[in-house]
């Protein structure tokens, strides 16, 4: 199961093209989740939304805006996403 969640202040029209393209990564993300026996695999965008795949569609976590999380800020500061 794949789902997309966006922060409440995100302009959905602005993320539409990018989120539709990233939706194509669903099978790879699910393979990662299954291979590492994790609940879900996530991909977060700088635009304020996240895409996730999970093994159990009933157990969706609350959305968190990754842009303020320490791991995201550190990666951005180190230009890890470029």
H helix count then E strand count, the chain: 3, 3
Residue 82 lies in a domain: no
pLDDT in tens, 40-56: 787 888 887 777 777 76
Instruction: Give residue 31's pLDDT band: very low, low, confident or very high (50, 70, 90).
Output: confident
| Domain range for 25 | 2-77
Inside any domain, residue 23: yes
* Domain count across the chain: 1
| Assigned domain for 59 exists | yes
- Classify residue 51: in a domain, yes or no: yes
- What is residue 2's predicted lDDT score, i.e. its pLDDT? 47
List, for residues 55-76, the tens digit of each pLDDT value.
766 666 566 677 888 988 888 8
Structure tokens at 48: 């304020």
């Amino acid at each position: 199961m794949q789902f997309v969640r966006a922060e409440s202040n995100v302009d959905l029209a602005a993320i539409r093209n990018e989120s539709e393209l990233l939706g194509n990564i669903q099978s790879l993300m699910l393979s990662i989740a299954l291979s590492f026996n994790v609940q879900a695999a996530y991909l977060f965008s700088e635009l304020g939304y996240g895409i996730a795949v999970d093994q159990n569609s009933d157990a969706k976590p609350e959305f968190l805006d990754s842009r303020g999380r320490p791991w995201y800020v550190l990666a951005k500061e180190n230009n890890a996403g470029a």
